[in-house]
Each structure stands twice: as C-alpha cells, then as structure tokens.
C-alpha cells in the first residue's frame, strides 16, 4: 500500500512539473493581472486582444499556413521517398536512409544555419520569397514522414501487390490502390508529426524567414524581451488556446483509437 | 513498352534529389565556409580561433556542463516515472502516457514563457539563480523526450526474464539491477541523445530566461547577427562533429527516434 502511494506521488510530481506552469498561466489568462501572483478580477480582455490585434492574428495564421504547407510538401516527398527507398537496391536505399538521418540527429540550429548559408548567402535567394523558409521546414519535417512510412511498408503484405499485377493492374494502379491504402496510417501520422514539428520550430525559421514575417515561436521569443504588457498577457491566452486544442486533439485521438480497437476485436 | 517505364524505385528520385540539394549540399557549403575567410582563401583561422579564444572555449565547457546537468536531472525524473508507468497495471495508463507526451505538441516558446512567469514569481528576479533557471528551463522543455523512449523500452521488456531472475533467487532490487536496468539501456541512451544535444544548442531557453551566459548554439546566433558566416560555419561544423560522435557511440543500441511524440 505504501509502495503504491509512493509510486503515485512520483507520477503526480512529474506531471505537476510538466503542467503546473501552463495551468497557472491559463488561470491568469482569464484575469486582468499583468504578473503571476497578483490577485485580480475575471476578464476576457487577453482573448479579445489575441483575436483582434492584426499583428497577432497575422502571426498565428501565418504559422498555421506555413505548418500545413510544409507538412504537405514533406508528406508527399517523404512518402514517395520511402516507397522508392523500400523498393530500391541496397546501396541506394542505405544512401537515402543515411541522408534522411542527418536532419533527424542534427541540431536544428545547424540545419537552419546551413540552409541559410546555401540558399541566401551563396545562391542569393531573397528570404522575402519565403523559399528558404519553406525549404527549411520541409527539410526539417520530411525525414520524420519518411521514418513513419517505412515501418508500414515493412509490415505490408507484398503478395497483394503481386496479385494485383497478375490480375492485370498496371504498376501505377497497383501502387495507388494497394500500396498507398496499406501505408496510409503511416502517412497520416507522418503528416501530423510534420505539422507539430513545424509549429514548434524556432531555429530553422529564425535563420530563413523574411524579416517582416513571424512564426509563433519567433514572435514569442522577441515579445518576451520587450516589456509590452498587453502583448505579453495576450500570449498567455494564446498558450491556453493551444493547450486546449492539444487536449481536444488528444481526446479525439484517444476516443477514435479506442473505437478502432473495439471494432478490430469485434466487440 | 511504355507502360513498364514506371517503376516503384523511381519514386524515390525526387526525395533523393531533395536530400542531396538541401541536406548534403548545405553541409558541404558549411565545410567550405568554415575553412575559408572573407576573401575565399583557405584558412584554419576559424578553427584555431575557436580553440585559442578563452570565450569560445569557456562557452564549450559551459555548454557541456549545462547539457550534462540537464540530462542528469531529466534522467533522474524520467526513469522512475517511466519505470513506474511501464510496470503498473493501471487502467488510466494510456491517459498518463498521453499526458507525458502532450507537452511535445505545445509550442516550446509558450511553455518556457509559462515557466518564466512562475519562476519570476517564485524567485523575485530571474537574475538570482541563472544556472538553476537554465537547468530547470531545459529539463522542463526536454523531459518528455527522455520519458517516452525509456517508457517504450521498459514496456517491451520480456516479463519472463524477471520471473526467471526471481525463481533463481534474485531479490527485487537485484532483479532490477541485473535485468531491468541493463535491458532499458537502449531507451536511456536514446533519451540521453535527445536531451543532451538540444541542451547544448537550444539557446532560446536561456535567452528567454534572461541568462547572460552563452551556450554553443548562441555562438551561431551571434555570428549570424554579425553576418560572420565563416565563424558561424565553424561552430556549426563543430556541433555537427559532436552530433556525429554521439551518433557513432550510440549506434546499434539506439531505439527508434521519438522526437515530436511519434506515438500517433
């Protein structure tokens, strides 16, 4: 009994460490306090500021559009790359695998800086064209799509593809109708992973973004250095909104996973 | 013949080209810049400059220190939590695992903002405890990346081995030390590599917590701000070297990468 209590305490303490700051901030985002600790009345003004200040709205929308655009390109490239590598000869496959591993293990600072040097300093592509930023984010995300598709290809039953060919399907039709559906869960989770990586990125964006464009990360980092209180507390509201979106996403996913599990076991 | 031109192998070509262009080429350019000066002449100045300047050397040592302490703190917090969770028969287990992963999906700069507000409130001024705040900030940021791989490895552990150890007379502690701990080593290594390297380079955490000291990553940032591509490239190259060394040392035993919470 005592051991069990101990175990619960450890788990609860770690969870507190991870969540207390976000939760305290969430509570204070609904007040008009400018600092944690001050006790003030209920107010929604942070949320009003968040959704009516053009600068903030633009920054949030820009971040989301960038994340989905980068994730889309990364998913297409990474998925095709995974299929190609999976069916390639050993040398080619291991070359792609090794190159794919570089951005995964590399520090994001180095990835961002090296892309900036190549595209901006050497090739002279303007950062205002958004090309370096998009390329940077696709480079950051595509390897993870690749890594989530490969296991699905390995699990796939290859005889179905052969059967399709024997029954007269062209390789292309067989790919679209047989291979893609079987690896689809991997593609979806790769896409989701790509979106979260792009949303979370600071380093690649800071070295490749146009000066007038900000993602949530670059904006927040600059805003915390300035002392503008209304913006600072509006960001508390943003943190709370993102937290709620993540919770919602997690709940939906969990419910769906639970339902799929039941369907599969025939209950 | 034309319909047989399509081959599954050729699908990999765009991605292979992409990797060559935007992963390998930037690294080659990095090497070129690191060993040249502004006039494009070959020089070792950037390298020798790094190892003779007490500032940059100090930064390297400080980075190692910060990263080592952060990794230690994360390991001390993560291992017990992951172990308890992986070995428990709780009904809410999957929910708790999800709770450990969820912070990875929340923008890190906003999470650090939250921590900063709390620390400012608790300590009065962040300037009093720069080292403590840095380690706290980094541990707060990277902890999920340590918990997840350890949890995954312990969960997959073959329970029969533990039973065998007990049947053969091992006490609970002995069984843990001789069976569970060695077998969870891949998870630990994977977690360590996912915490140690970011802790050496993620200078934004320090930056946001108003720390005046620098780590390796911030050197790139300051060279970048000064348009010194050559000095910055050398730092980037050194960091890459550390990454390679690390990957080489943990090769073979490393678990699959779990950055970003790849547990969807």
Using one digit for the tens of pLDDT, what is the confidence trace for A164-211? 989 988 888 888 899 999 999 999 999 999 999 999 999 999 999 999
Tell me the two tokens of residue A44: 């929604």
Q: Which residue has the higher pLDDT, A157 or B68?
A: B68
Give the residue-averaged pLDDT of A89-118.
Answer: 91
Cα–Cα distance list, B93 to A15, A21, B84, B87, B153 (Å): 13, 23, 10, 10, 16
Does the beta carbon of B217 lie under 8 angstroms from any beta carbon of chain A?
Answer: yes
ipTM of predicted complex:
0.87
Look at chain B and report how many structural domains it folds into.
Answer: 1
Binary contact (A84, B221; C-beta < 8 A) = no
Query: How many residue pairs bridge chain A and chain B with CB atoms within 8 Å of each other?
Result: 279
Binary contact (B18, A81; C-beta < 8 A) = yes
Provide, rounded to the nearest whole percent, the portion of chain B with pLDDT above 70. 91
Q: Could you report the per-residue pLDDT of A80-101, keeping only the tens digit for each?
A: 999 999 988 888 899 999 999 9
pTM for this model (two decimals): 0.88
Q: Are B188 and B152 in contact (CB under 8 A)?
A: no
We report the CATH number of the domain holding residue B147 as 1.10.3720.10
Q: Flag whether B172 is in a domain.
A: yes
Binary contact (B30, A117; C-beta < 8 A) = yes
Tell me the two tokens of residue B209: 């917590």
| Domain A54-225 listed as CATH 3.20.20.370 | no
Tell me the two tokens of residue B244: 């390679």
Binary contact (B193, A118; C-beta < 8 A) = no
How many CB atoms neighbour CB A39 within 10 A? 7
- The model's confidence at residue A151, banded by pLDDT at 50, 70 and 90, is very high
Q: Are B189 and B250 in contact (CB under 8 A)?
A: yes
Contacts of A122 in chain B (CB under 8 A): 29
- The model's confidence at residue A265, banded by pLDDT at 50, 70 and 90, is low
Using CB atoms within 10 A of its CB, is residue B159 exposed (0-12), middle (13-18) or buried (19+)? exposed
Of the listed ranges A239-248, B18-27, B34-43, B59-68, the one predicted with least confidence: B34-43
Residues 227-266 of A with CB under 8 A from B: 235-236, 238-239, 242-243, 246-247, 249-250, 253-254
CA atoms in the 13 A half-sphere facing the CB of A164: 16
Q: Flag whether B229 is in a domain.
A: yes
What does B124-162 look like in DSSP terms, one character per residue? S-GGG-HHHHHHHHHHHHHHHHHHHHHHHHHHHS-HHHH
Does the beta carbon of B83 lie under 8 angstroms from any beta carbon of chain A?
Answer: no
Q: Are A93 and B20 in contact (CB under 8 A)?
A: no
Q: Flag whether B194 is in a domain.
A: yes
pLDDT of B247 reads 79
Q: Flag whether B8 is in a domain.
A: no
Beta bridge partners of B125: none
Q: Flag whether B178 is in a domain.
A: yes
Q: Could you report the per-residue pLDDT of B130-148, keeping only the tens digit for each?
A: 888 889 999 999 999 999 9
Closest C-alpha among B98, B182, B89, B195 to residue B141: B195
Q: Flag whether B261 is in a domain.
A: no
- Summary mean pLDDT of chain B: 84
Q: Flag whether B50 is in a domain.
A: no
- The model's confidence at residue B219, banded by pLDDT at 50, 70 and 90, is confident
Binary contact (A21, B233; C-beta < 8 A) = no
Q: Are B77 and B139 in contact (CB under 8 A)?
A: yes
**Domain span at B78:** 56-249
pLDDT of B262 reads 45
Q: Flag whether B6 is in a domain.
A: no
Provide the sign of the torsion angle of the four alpha carbons A32, A33, A36, A40, taken in this order: negative
Contacts of B80 in chain A (CB under 8 A): 10
């Amino acid at each position: 009994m005592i051991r069990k209590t101990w175990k619960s305490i450890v788990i609860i303490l770690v969870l507190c460490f991870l969540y207390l700051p976000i939760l305290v901030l969430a509570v204070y985002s609904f007040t008009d306090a400018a600092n944690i600790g001050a006790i003030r009345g209920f107010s929604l003004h942070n949320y009003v500021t968040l959704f009516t200040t053009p600068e903030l709205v633009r920054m949030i929308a820009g971040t989301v559009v960038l994340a989905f655009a980068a994730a889309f390109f990364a998913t297409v490239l990474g998925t095709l790359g995974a299929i190609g590598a999976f069916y390639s000869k050993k040398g080619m496959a291991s070359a792609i695998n090794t190159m794919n591993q570089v951005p995964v293990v590399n520090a994001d600072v180095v990835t961002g800086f090296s892309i900036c040097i190549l595209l901006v300093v050497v090739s002279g592509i303007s950062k205002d064209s958004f090309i370096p930023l998009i390329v940077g984010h696709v480079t950051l995300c595509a390897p993870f799509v690749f890594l989530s598709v490969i296991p699905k290809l390995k699990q796939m039953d290859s005889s179905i593809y052969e059967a399709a060919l024997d029954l007269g399907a062209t390789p292309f039709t067989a790919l679209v109708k047989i291979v893609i559906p079987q690896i689809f869960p991997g593609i979806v989770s790769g896409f989701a992973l790509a979106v979260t990586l792009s949303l979370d990125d600071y380093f690649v964006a800071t070295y490749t973004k146009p000066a007038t464009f900000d993602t949530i990360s670059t904006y927040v980092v600059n805003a915390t250095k300035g002392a503008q209180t209304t913006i600072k507390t509006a960001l508390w509201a943003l943190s709370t909104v993102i937290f709620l979106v993540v919770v919602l996403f997690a709940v939906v996913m969990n419910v769906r996973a639970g339902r799929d599990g039941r369907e599969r076991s025939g209950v | 013949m034309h319909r047989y031109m399509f081959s599954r192998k050729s699908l990999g070509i765009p991605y292979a080209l992409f990797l060559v262009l935007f992963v390998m080429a930037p690294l080659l350019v990095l090497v070129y810049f690191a060993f040249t000066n502004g006039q494009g002449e070959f020089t070792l100045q950037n390298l020798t400059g790094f190892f003779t300047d007490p500032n940059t050397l100090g930064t390297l040592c400080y980075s190692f220190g910060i990263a080592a302490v952060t990794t230690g703190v994360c390991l001390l917090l993560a291992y017990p939590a992951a172990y308890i969770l992986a070995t428990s028969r709780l009904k809410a287990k999957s929910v708790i695992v999800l709770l450990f992963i969820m912070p990875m999906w929340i923008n890190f700069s906003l999470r650090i903002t939250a921590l900063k507000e709390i620390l400012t409130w608790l300590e009065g001024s962040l300037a009093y405890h720069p080292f403590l705040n840095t380690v706290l900030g980094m541990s707060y940021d990277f902890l999920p990346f340590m918990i997840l791989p350890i949890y995954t490895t312990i969960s997959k552990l073959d329970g029969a081995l533990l039973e065998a150890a007990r049947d053969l007379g091992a006490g609970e502690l002995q069984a843990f030390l001789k069976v569970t701990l060695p077998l969870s080593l891949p998870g630990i290594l994977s977690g360590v590599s996912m915490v140690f390297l970011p802790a050496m380079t993620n200078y934004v955490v320090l930056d946001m917590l108003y720390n005046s000291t620098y780590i390796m990553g911030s050197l790139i940032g300051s060279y970048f701000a000064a348009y010194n591509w050559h000095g910055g490239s050398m730092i980037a190259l050194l960091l890459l070297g550390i990454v390679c060394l690390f990957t080489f040392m943990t090769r073979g035993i490393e678990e699959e990468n779990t950055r970003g919470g790849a547990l969807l």
